[in-house]
A and B are shown apart, each in its own frame.
Chain A
Amino acid sequence: MTQAPQARRTLLVAGAVTVGAALTTGVSGLLAPLRAQGLAPTLTMRGGDNNYRPGAPIVNRIGGGGFWLTGTVRRVGDGALLPRVRIQVWAHTTEGHERDPHSHGATLTDANGVFRMEMPQIIPAFGQAHAHLAYDGGHDSNNFETVFLRPVMRNARDTSLSADFVLRRA
């Protein structure tokens, strides 16, 4: 008999967990499209366009590589991933300063809206290990508003960094 309250509690807990899980799934399922609809545009970061080189060429890799700068490009609203969007990246690396032309390179997003640029290891410069990324509406036929990003690496020894764009129509 002493087992009964225990069993009842277990049942209640199990029930609560199930209902909770169902609620969470249901609510998040309902919210997902809403959230996508309200997907806010990525805003240009302070200092993001410093040492930008308009129209830097599309390259397979910057320098010797070894470090990966990756990310996705979506559009505002439905959050659809955008293919063939031109993204330029640059940074202070083991092979050059930010201002050096050979520190810059552009790439296009793939069919899944993903871009991946291999480049030399980014090292701290001007007090932070950081990268620069640009979507420049003036050098891309997709006609979105220009956005400059300046993400900072959590650890200067990281060998990759990612940054995502949500673009809005120009």
Chain B
Amino acid sequence: MIGPRPLRPALIWGGLATAMTVPVVIAAGSPLLAWRSSVYIAAGFAGVVALALLLIQPLLSGAYLPGLRLRPGRRLHAGVGAGIAAAVTIHVAGLWLTSPPDVVDALLFNSPTTFSAWGVVAMWAVFASSLLAAFRGRLRLGLIAWRLCHIMLAVVIVVGGVVHALLIDGTMEIVSKAVLCALVITAAAKVMVDLRLLTDIRRISSRQ
């Protein structure tokens, strides 16, 4: 129980907004920015924003946020998903403009930095997840099968994105980055447990 009942929604929304914006604001004060071009700065911040959006994304899917019913929550979930895909695209495109060979190495899994591979895998999972959502009606997947695919991609996105971020020495301040990453993992894990993923899998396997 967080605070008296009438205050709870404000505290939850306020806490979520703080958790998402503080790391971005601290990154905006990074000394590294002074020595980066605007394109490189935009690319970096697109990555930071994508990480911050990963925190609200699972909470929207399960109607965890006060005042937001399941249906509008899911609609917002789709919008934030599109936002993450756009942020990842800007991230990669901006890095490519800044240093093409580094991005080519990363995309071909030939980079000297291990965090690149985690990021690239998460990127493909973001794109796959977007396509899966966009063509949901035409795919004729059952609800459970569709949800399993979506959740598996979400696991890859969250784990890949968090490991990618943690291994990078960049504009994000280390403590705020670690806290955001811990919250992202916690939120995703909580929603997945509540969605009874294992029960779904058991139901599917018993049907076959």
Contacts and interface: CB of A to CB of B under 8 A. Distances in A.
B170 interface: yes
Nearest to B115: A127
Given A98-B99, A124-B170, A128-B169, A47 B40 contact: no
Chain B contact residues, majority secondary structure: helix
Contact of B95 (A50, A93, A126, A150): A126
Interface string A88-132: 000011110111000000000000000000000001111111000
Chain B contact residues (Cβ within 8 angstroms of A): what range?
Answer: 20 to 34
Contact of A124 (B32, B95, B167): B32
A21 B169 CA distance: 44
A46 interface: yes
A99 B169 CA distance: 20
Nearest to A129: B169
B102 interface: yes
B95 A92 contact: no
Interface in B90-145: 95, 98-99, 101-102, 105, 110-113, 115-116
Contacts of B32: 123-124
B111 A47 contact: yes
A97 B111 contact: no
Q: Which of B40, B111, B169 has the most CB of A within 10 A?
A: B169
A95 B112 CA distance: 24
Interface in B21-60: 32, 34-37, 40
A16 interface: no
Contact of B112 (A45, A92, A94, A123): A45
Nearest to B105: A47
A51 interface: yes
Contacts of B36: 97, 125
A53 B102 CA distance: 15
Contacts of A95: 35
Contacts of B112: 45-48, 150
A51 B99 contact: yes
Nearest to B103: A126
Interface in B160-205: 167-170
Contacts of A51: 99, 101-102
Given A97-B40, A129-B169, A150-B112, A47 B35 contact: no
Given A47-B111, A126-B113, A128-B169, A97 B102 contact: no
B169 A47 contact: no
A156 interface: yes
Q: Which of A98, A125, A150, A156 has the most CB of B within 10 A?
A: A125
Nearest to B31: A123
27 contacts: A45-B112, A46-B105, A46-B112, A47-B101, A47-B105, A47-B112, A47-B113, A49-B101, A50-B99, A50-B102, A50-B105, A51-B102, A97-B36, A97-B37, A97-B40, A97-B98, A99-B99, A123-B32, A123-B35, A124-B32, A125-B36, A126-B102, A127-B113, A127-B116, A127-B167, A128-B169, A150-B112
Interface of B: 32, 34-37, 40, 95, 98-99, 101-102, 105, 110-113, 115-116, 167-170
